[in-house]
Amino acid sequence: MKMNTVLPVYYQIKQTIKNWIINKEFNPGERIPSEKELADRFHVNRLTVRQALGQLIQEGFLTSKRGEGTFVTDDVRLIDSCNFEFRGLIDDFFFAQISEVKTKLVRINQVIAPKQIQEKLRLNPGSEEVTEIKRVRYLRGKLLTYSINYLPMTIGTRIKEESLYEKSLLQILEQDLGIRFSEAVQTIESSFADQEVAEHLAVPSGSPVLFIERIMYAYKGQPVEIFQSSYRGDMYKFIVRYKNVVNKDGSRWIHRSG
């Protein structure tokens, strides 16, 4: 395993072992390799491995039995809670209203928009102030995402903090404010958690995250909202299914919705 120079080594080992568990490379109740075997595999000392295992034991993914070794938890629900399978396009999740997603922190401020936000919202000169909405959301009791939304003041000042604990922002904009969207442009990329993101997602600074930016457009192509969100990189497995279609011109693979 090639180590990332940004993240602590023990953390990378911890995430690797955790992924083994989530991906069922070791089944519930199964014994994992010993500290020595893991140290040899990762080319580190046993103390580093012990630190990684200790955290996984604290989180409940492993159990230690004196004289027997370290075993994967029997708590299948815990393991499955970290493995979210998205069927169909990734947009099915990001636009869907998932009842299990809970908002636990909301902050609304009026701020001077960064230059790139001003440009993306096509703000007029002198109208650089925007409404900034920051939220932390959980899925099944686990930290999921830290998001920041930027909206023109004419729209953002109409949004109440208490409403964001009950509804998604998209629901508020469409249902409560009557905004009709015509299209959206979404960018998905891998990134690293800066200090602000790391603190809200409870991960070390520099941890891998899935970064989403989406620009929402109303009719006539007017940008209404910019959504930027960082999702914990250890919470996702994105699965796409394809079907091999054979016809007179040969075969081709097409995406198949779940």
Instruction: Write down which residue in 80, 108, 137 finishes a domain.
Output: 80
Average pLDDT of the segment spanning 31-54: 93
DSSP annotation of 175: I
CATH number for the domain spanning 159: value is 3.40.1410.10
Q: Are both 108 and 17 inside the same structural domain?
A: no
Q: Looking at residues 172-195, what average pLDDT do you find?
A: 88
pLDDT surpasses 60 at 255: no
Lowest mean pLDDT among 15-29, 167-181, 183-197, 237-251: 237-251
pLDDT at 257: 45
Give pLDDT tens digits for 55-79: 999 989 999 998 899 999 998 888 7
Confidence of residue 86 (pLDDT cuts 50, 70, 90): very low
Mean pLDDT of the 43-49 span: 93
Q: What is the mean pLDDT of residues 19-38?
A: 90
Of the candidates 218, 219, 210, the one whose C-alpha atom is nearest the C-alpha of residue 238 is 210
For the record, the structure tokens of 227 come out as 């959504």
CATH code for the domain in which residue 53 is found: 1.10.10.10
Which residues does 115 contact at the CB level (< 8 Å), separation at least 6?
none
Average pLDDT score over residue span 155-160: 94
pLDDT above 90: percentage of residues in the chain: 40
**Where is average pLDDT lowest: 37-41, 78-82, 179-183?**
78-82
Number of structural domains, the chain? 2
Q: Is the pLDDT of residue 51 over 60?
A: yes
Please compute the mean of the pLDDT values over residues 4-22 and round it to a whole number. Answer: 79
Please give the pLDDT value at position 222.
87
Confidence of residue 100 (pLDDT cuts 50, 70, 90): low
Lowest-pLDDT choice from 158-162, 179-183, 217-221, 222-226: 217-221
Shared domain for 62 and 89, answered yes or no, is: no
Considering 62, 80, 98, which residue would you say is the last residue of a domain? 80
Q: Kindly report the average pLDDT of the chain as a whole number.
A: 83
Give pLDDT, residue 89: 37
Domain region containing 214: 84-237
Helix boundaries (H) for the chain: 9-22, 35-42, 46-58, 76-80, 91-95, 115-120, 153-156, 169-171, 195-201
Angle between helices 9-22 and 35-42 (to 10 degrees): 110
Give the integer Cα–Cα distance in Å for 248 and 226.
45
What's the rounded Cα separation, in Å, for the pair 34 and 117? 51
One domain, residues 30 and 135? no
Question: Does residue 191 form part of some domain?
Answer: yes
Helix/strand/coil percentages in the chain, nearest 5: 30, 35, 30
**209 close to 232: Cβ distance less than 8 angstroms:** yes
Q: How confident is the model at residue 24 (pLDDT cuts 50, 70, 90)?
A: confident
Q: Is residue 243 part of a domain?
A: no
Sequence letter at residue 175: Q
What mean pLDDT comes out for the span 168-197? 89
Query: CA 62 to CA 124: how far, in whole Å?
Result: 56
User: Domain for residue 242, yes or no?
Assistant: no
